[in-house]
Amino acid sequence: MAKLRILEFPDPRLRTRAAPVKVVDDRLRQLADDMFETMYAAPGIGLAATQVDVHQRLLVVDVSVDKTQPLVLINPEILQKDGVAVTEEGCLSVPGYFEEVERYEHIRVRYLDRDGATVERDMEGLLAVCVQHEMDHLNGRLFVDYLSEAKRQRIRKRLVKDRRTESTPVAVL
């Protein structure tokens, strides 16, 4: 197991469109395990491979309160969608910001699980929202893209500035 480094907005690598996974093998399962470790430690309820600089269509989620329902979704596709859900979203790649985003309320998703088996599943509530948020990451899209240009620029400037301050060593007198 290993904790991975999460890319942060406005890192251009977050804009990469991920490629379909060709084979579900032990290497991919190891990546999924490392993504869970990274997600739980953060802590977060979902993580897309894009966020750890792996540009393959793989995401992990666990929206359960006791963290006992890990789900691995490989090559996910939305088959059906309906309704509207507005949720205050956050993102591990945009730390410290929470804004309302509109998503589909119900989705039916087809994906491969960690054994490479095809699964079709109806989702709603926070799970549906989180899976849509993660699928956006796989397409290089971030929740801040749904906000106004002004808001996104404000967040971008703040994060760039924070990072600059973080990496500046304090003078030792």
Q: Which residues are catalytic?
A: 134
Task: State the Cα–Cα distance between residues 121 and 118, nearest whole angstrom.
Answer: 10
Phi then psi dihedrals of residue 14, to 5 deg = -70, -10
Q: Which is nearer to ligand GNR, 44 or 76 (CB)?
A: 44
Length in residues, the chain: 173
90 touches ligand GNR by CB under 6 A: yes
Q: Using CB under 6 A as the criterion, what x/- string covers residues 104-143 for binding ligand GNR?
A: -------------------------xx--xx--x------
| Minimum distance of ligand GNR from residue 171's CB (angstroms) | 35
Binding test (CB under 6 A) with ligand GNR, winner from 18, 60, 71, 92: 92
| Minimum distance of ligand GNR from residue 75's CB (angstroms) | 17
Task: State the Cα–Cα distance between residues 38 and 28, nearest whole angstrom.
Answer: 15
Instruction: Confirm if 81 and 124 have CB atoms less than 8 A apart.
Output: no
Residue nearest to ligand GNR (CB): 44
In whole angstroms, what separates CA 44 from the centre of its chain?
A: 9
